[in-house]
Amino acid sequence: MVKVVDHPLIQVKLNIMRDERTKSKEFRENLDEIASLMCFEVFRDLKVHEEKETITTPTGAVLPKLKLDYKIILAPILRAGIGMVDGVRNMIPTARIGHIGMYRDEETMIPHEYYFKLPVVDNPLVVICDPMLATGGSACAAISAVKQRGYKNIRLMCLVGVQEGIDAVTKAHPDVDIYIAAVDEKLNEKCYILPGLGDAGDRIFGTK
């Protein structure tokens, strides 16, 4: 399943991020907010259960305490995925965080894994996040790496992608649902997304 989460609030914030004049601080703030807003769709089908413990409202009503049924692991693909972590964690404070170190070779576009650490949790939902889905190579490799370690319930959360990247992921991993805020036109000769927003990692961390 591919879900394009293009709520008007997200579109306007993404438009600010696309603007080359937007500085790193504002870029990060908007990414943060979009990640929070996307949670509405990414976690729409989560179940809650009633605990034995109760809560009492100011009007004296007694209600069961509610808790999310799922244990959630958020797994950003380094570096740019880090920019989505706080936004999701603000919505789901109990989410545990893993890290997948992956960079794509600038010549071959082949992704290389350089770090992998995910929390050990019984039967979690793993949400891999990365703002950019270009060729799809990094996302496919990250999903494979997560599966190799025995995790089964996996979702992919991205900001901007192209159809080529979506197709690559759905072909290699048809069991993984993709949530994305915008599907752009195409890739350029350097496999950057057009119109896109440039190099997400550099804009988040101010490295250029």
DSSP readout, 66-122? Answer: EEESS-EEEEEEETGGGGGHHHHHHH-TT-EE-EEEEEE-TTT--EEEEEEE----S
Rounded (5°) CA angle 26-30-32 = 115
Does residue 201 touch ligand URA according to CB under 6 A? yes
Using CB under 6 A as the binding rule, the residues of this chain from 71 to 130 that contact ligand URA are 80
Answer whether 164's CB lies under 8 Å from 131's CB: no
CB of 33 to ligand PRP, least distance (A): 19
Answer whether 75's CB lies under 8 Å from 126's CB: yes
Does residue 17 touch ligand URA according to CB under 6 A? no
The option from ligand URA, ligand PRP, none interacting with 165 (CB < 5 to 8 A, set by class) reads: ligand PRP
Cα atoms in the 13 Å half-sphere on the side-chain side of 39? 19
Considering the candidates 56, 104, 130, 149, report the single residue annotated as catalytic.
Answer: 104
The residue among 132 and 154 lying less far from ligand URA, judged by its C-beta, is 132
Active site includes 19? Answer: no
Active site includes 104? Answer: yes
3-state SS, residue 200: helix
Using CB under 6 A as the binding rule, the residues of this chain from 122 to 141 that contact ligand URA are 132, 134
Rounded (5°) CA angle 199-200-201 = 95
Active site includes 199? Answer: yes
Using CB under 6 A as the binding rule, the residues of this chain from 78 to 137 that contact ligand PRP are 78-80, 102-104, 109, 111, 130, 132-137
CB of 140 to ligand PRP, least distance (A): 8
Rounded (5°) CA angle 17-91-69 = 140
In single-letter form, the type of residue at position 5 comes to: V
Considering the candidates 21, 56, 108, 122, report the single residue annotated as catalytic.
Answer: 108
* Residue number of the CB atom closest to ligand PRP: 201
Answer whether 127's CB lies under 8 Å from 104's CB: no
Write out the residues near ligand PRP by the rule CB under 6 A.
77-80, 102-104, 109, 111, 130, 132-139, 165, 191, 200-201
Write out the residues near ligand URA by the rule CB under 6 A.
80, 132, 134, 192-193, 196, 199-201
- List, by residue number, the catalytic residues: 104, 108, 199, 202
